[in-house]
Each structure stands twice: as C-alpha cells, then as structure tokens.
Structure 1
Amino acid sequence: MIRRFITAIVLFFVFYAGAFGFLPAPPRRIVSLAPALTESLYVLGVGDRLKGCTTYCKKPEEAKHKEKVGTLVEINVEKVLLLKPDLVLAMEFSDRKAVEKLKNLGIRVELFPSPKDFNHLCQSFLRLGQMVGREDRAKEIVDRAKKEAAFIRQQVEREKKIKIFWQLGAKPLFAATKGYFTNDYIEYAGGINIAADAKSGIYSREEVLKRNPDVIVIVTMGIAGEREKETWQTYSSINAVKQNQIYIVDSYKYCSPTPKGFVEALKELVGFLHPSISISSEKK
C-alpha cells in the first residue's frame, strides 16, 4: 500500500507538475554563438535575456552592444563563463572545441544544425521558442511566415521560370545547391537553380557559362560583391550580363534569417525577378 502511494505521488509530479508551475524556469542568462540565433531571441521577445554574443551578431541594433565572446569560429570560453550563462546557443559551424569545453564544464549548450530548407529553418525556430518559454509566439511567427511564403510562391507560379546562379563565395567560386536552405529562395521565387544538382557547392565559371543563367545573385558584402559583379560583366555571352540582371544582396539578410527574415528576403528577390508582380497583399 505504501509503495503504491509513493508511486502515485511520483507519477503525479512527473505528469502534472507542469500544470502547477513546477517545471524548471526558462533560461534567464543566454549566450548566443550565431547571428541567426541572436536575432531569433529578439524576434521571440527575449532579447533582454541575451548576455553575450559574437562580433558577427549585428542584428538587431541592440545586439551590437552586448558583451562579445568571440567570432563565429573562435570563442573565448573564459568570457562566456564570466557571463554565468544558464544556456549557450550554438550552431554546427561554431567553435567545436569551445562548445565541448563548455559542455564538460557543466554548461548547458544547445546545438542547432544548419537549415537544409525553409521548413527546417522553421523547425529550429520552434525548438528555440520552446527552450526559452515562447512556444506560442514562435508558432505564431512560423505560421505567419509559412502562409506568406506560400502566397508568394502561388503568385509567381504562372511566371516564366528564370534560370539563376546563386553565388555564395568567390575563392573558390561557391554556389547554393539543393541541400542548403538558400535554394528555397530560388524555388519559392519561381526560379531554376542551375547548380541544384551539383555534388558540392564548389563551382566553376565555365559551368556557369555553359548553363547560361538569366540572373546572377551574388551574396556578399561591400567591395567583394562589386568586384565579383565586375568580373561577371566581362562574360558578355551570359544572358544575365546581356540583360543587366546581376544583383548583389546582403549576406547577413539572406544567410542568417529567422522565418520572418526569410520571407522579407524572399520578397526582395521576387521584386528583382518579377517586378510586375505585387506581393503587398499577402494573406495574413
């Protein structure tokens, strides 16, 4: 009888504790090691809990003033520890040695994979929302983003398919392939990714010439993008050059988005590819 009573008490706390507010409180001191995760915290309304981030975490503006713990690939573990985090957010490209050291020191580290597509991006955002106690807000944001993205995709369905080369790097030349979420920008915007079937992202200018894209999108920042554009302009036989359809876009905006940010970037891209289409009346 006593054993049954004790078992019942244990089960009560396991299955019903959440209903009475006994679950562990959401993390209050967070360190983010990736720009996308940093911005996501602010979108979820918990930016005040962010105590530190990397030098690459520049959005929103408030993130620039947070304590800096290193770069994307090199983290100062001592600085992280001084911030006394109860949660460290990292991505698979983050400083692995630092991540393992933090784990070994008993710090809770949650690792997020690089998104493979828009849906994967949304799943990671929902997971983060759950971690920080903003699950409902995360779901609301994801649902809205998915509806808007689907509406945009529907709007461009009847348009002519445009061949696109999506350049992510210059030395070596690197292209967006089917296995990375940036490919979804192209598909949702009604384009054809000429490098979708490439085994790796490393590409050649000769192959670009052969596939003759209608549009070239260069994802980079500053002078490097302008130099790449000038280089492509010397290839006068490419349709994108003939039609003056070479665009330089913000790498931060396109490569480190939240679900909401993905839609904002997608709208910009559709504006380049299909200027006659109005997407201001997307479904709510």
Structure 2
Amino acid sequence: MKIYKKWLAAFVFTILLVGCNSEDSNKAKNDTPNEATYTVEDDRGVEVTFEAIPQSVISLQPSNTEILFELGVGDKLIGATEYDTYPEEAKKIERVSDTITVNNERVIELNPDVVFAFTMGDETQVEQLESAGIKVFVIKSAASIEDVYGDIKQIAEVMGVEKEGQKVVANIQSQITSVQEKIASLEKQKKVYFEISPAPDIWSVGSGTFQQELIYSAGVENLYIDQQGWFAVSEEDLLQRNPEAIITTVNSEDPIAEMLSRPGWGVLTAVQNKEVYHLNADILDRPGPRIGEAVELIATSIYPDLFK
C-alpha cells in the first residue's frame, strides 16, 4: 500500500472471486455451532472472540470481499470499498471506504458483527472502531500464495465455514498444479517485464511481491527478480535487459498499442515480436481466490502453444 504515492497506495490496496452456490454454503455454515463462543487470532496477533457467527460484515479490502463471496457468505456483507467490483453482486454493497480512508462514522452506524480490515491501513481508524465496540479482524496484505491460503482459512474460521475454506484452497491449488504440469516440459523460461504503472513514470515488481509469486508459478522469469518490492524502472536499464515478453496490467485506452509505439522501445525483442499482453489488473493484483486464474492467465499468454 505503497507509487505515484496515491496511485501505488490505491494499486496495492485494490489488490481481490465469486460466491459459491447457496446449497454448499448453507452446509458449510454448520461447521461452527451458531451458539458457540470461539476465538480466532488475526494478523496483529490479537485474539478476537465471537459469541456467534457474524451475520453482518464489512470488508475494507477488495481481495477479502472476493474471499467472502467465494466462501458463500457474501450475502452477509453490508459495507465494502469503492473498488469492490467482483463478483457482480459486490457492486451493490454500500461503499464505506476508498481503501485509504474509512467512513468510520458510517461503519459505526451500520454496527456490523465484524469488520475485516488490513494491516497497512490507518491504525488510528481501526482503534476508533474498536473503541466504539466494533469487532475488527485485521488481515495482513498477502505477499505470497501461501499468505492467500492463510487469509482464506482465517476468514473461513471467523465466518464458521472452515470446510468451505479448505475446499476453496484445494481448488486454487488444483488450478495452479494443472498449469505447472503443462509448463513442466519447458526447457527455458521466457524473461518477462511486468509493468504496473505506465510511461512516463514506469514501475514494475521484483522479489518479495505477490505478483512475483504468480509469475514464478506460471513458469516465467521475472526480468527484475533482482529488485525488491515495487520500484521505478529506468528505461535505459530496461532496454539493456531486453525482455522477451511484456505483461501490463495498466488500464488505459489501448495499453498494448501505447507500449508498442513508445520511442526507443522498437529495439526490444518483446516489441519486435509483438509479445505484449494486457491482462486483467483485478485478477493479477488482488491476493484473493482468483490467484489460480491469474497464474493460468500469465502462463497461457506467454506459452500459448502449451495450452492448445
């Protein structure tokens, strides 16, 4: 939650899939007895105790919203952020945050059973909600695929749908395994440049990022694996590194055409071969239940012949 200062904050914050059918979710809701008191530890190390399974929920991060829908409990959401656009039902939920600033007054009025917040938000906002008697369960923004699995399991435990959480994780693992079976025959991985912010101030991702995990799982070599986190790219350095393919998640009128026509970029192998791919930012940037789809998107774009 981090460039363009405001832009990167929004980028990282908007970093989350669809609800399961109601029959499965109703069965899963019986995983935890409705009357039992139970405690779940959040990513601050705070033990949050629930007297009953939450029936009204607010999510302050799009990825967590997607997780809740995938677990089959999206119907309990009464508040979300401006960027909660998936699945379609999420668009109908009242907006209580822009992912940076939370309308605490409105959250308190709604009086949810639990608020799913994030560790890189404004801690004072969390403190204000807790001081008002609102239960806040903080989820650390995932930096790895394993972190996403952990988030799903934590949220499933809070919502009393542990079995459904295990099922969601197993489905994602199956998707990723299927991709990796197809790319196992690769003799050499392609070097790919991943752009998250467009010219003139171009930014990419290196090690220690969630996107790096997706790239690695798709059998692709990140051109900037030697860098850390999110960082500004030097065009001179990029031209010297000469990527074989380019992935962009930038939402503009025609990001591929723009990239292919950038001054000086015609010498790049990726540009000469027109191996520039625009992929859905919500899928690739949100550490939620669509990460299996994200890995598949990257792999099928870079190695289409392996998926025919």
TM range (shorter): 0.7 to 0.9
Paired position in structure 1 for 2:77: 50
How far off is 1:227 after superposition?
7.0
Paired position in structure 1 for 2:63: 36
- Assess if the C-alpha contact under 8 Å between 1:73 and 1:93 holds in 2: no
Query: Within 5 A, what are the aligned runs for 1:258-269?
Result: 258-259=288-289, 261-269=290-298
Let me know the Cα RMSD of the aligned residues: 2.1
Seq. identity, %: 26
**Counterpart Cα distance in 2 of 1:19 and 1:201:** 43
**Counterpart Cα distance in 2 of 1:122 and 1:30:** 20
Pair 1:161 & 2:189 matched: yes
Query: Within 5 A, what are the aligned runs for 1:172-251?
Result: 172-202=201-231, 203-223=233-253, 225=255, 228-230=258-260, 232=262, 234-251=264-281
- Assess if the C-alpha contact under 8 Å between 1:32 and 1:53 holds in 2: yes
TM-score by length of 2: 0.79
Amino acid at match of 1:168: I
How far off is 1:173 after superposition?
2.2
CA displacement, residues 172-208 of structure 1 (integer Å, 9 cap, x when unaligned): 3221111011112211111111111113421222221
Pair 1:271 & 2:271 matched: no
- Assess if the C-alpha contact under 8 Å between 2:195 and 2:203 holds in 1: yes
Match of 1:82 among 101, 109, 115: 109
How far off is 1:135 after superposition?
0.8
Aligned residue for 1:25, secondary structure, equals: coil
Q: 1:146/1:92 Cα in 2 relative to 1: closer, same or farther (>3 Å)?
A: same
- Assess if the C-alpha contact under 8 Å between 1:161 and 1:192 holds in 2: yes
**Counterpart Cα distance in 1 of 2:263 and 2:181:** 33
How far off is 1:250 after superposition?
1.6
Match of 2:152 among 113, 122, 125: 125
Aligned residue for 1:277, secondary structure, equals: helix
- Assess if the C-alpha contact under 8 Å between 1:221 and 1:249 holds in 2: no
Q: 1:228/1:80 Cα in 2 relative to 1: closer, same or farther (>3 Å)?
A: farther
- Assess if the C-alpha contact under 8 Å between 1:72 and 1:95 holds in 2: no
Amino acid at match of 1:53: A
Aligned residue for 2:138, secondary structure, equals: strand
**Counterpart Cα distance in 2 of 1:269 and 1:20:** 42
How far off is 1:270 after superposition?
1.6
**Counterpart Cα distance in 1 of 2:205 and 2:253:** 21
How far off is 1:218 after superposition?
0.8
TM-score by length of 1: 0.85
Unmatched 5+ stretches in structure 1: 1-17, 280-284
**Counterpart Cα distance in 1 of 2:307 and 2:257:** 32
Amino acid at match of 1:112: I
Q: 1:91/1:226 Cα in 2 relative to 1: closer, same or farther (>3 Å)?
A: farther
Task: Identify which of structures 1 and 2 has the higher relative contact order when contacts are C-alpha pairs closer than 8 Å and 6+ apart.
Answer: 2
Pair 1:25 & 2:45 matched: no
Aligned residue for 1:85, secondary structure, equals: coil
Name the stretch that deviates more: 127-136 or 146-155.
Answer: 146-155
**Counterpart Cα distance in 2 of 1:107 and 1:21:** 19
Q: 1:20/1:69 Cα in 2 relative to 1: closer, same or farther (>3 Å)?
A: closer
Aligned residue for 2:243, secondary structure, equals: coil
Aligned residue for 2:79, secondary structure, equals: strand
**Counterpart Cα distance in 2 of 1:210 and 1:264:** 32
Amino acid at match of 1:144: N
How far off is 1:19 after superposition?
7.9
Q: 1:20/1:46 Cα in 2 relative to 1: closer, same or farther (>3 Å)?
A: closer
Unmatched 5+ stretches in structure 2: 1-31, 38-50
**Counterpart Cα distance in 2 of 1:100 and 1:225:** 41
Q: Which structure has the larger Rg?
A: 1
**Counterpart Cα distance in 2 of 1:90 and 1:224:** 34
Amino acid at match of 1:38: T
**Counterpart Cα distance in 2 of 1:271 and 1:52:** 35
**Counterpart Cα distance in 2 of 1:90 and 1:22:** 24
Amino acid at match of 2:297: E
Match of 1:253 among 283, 298, 308: 283
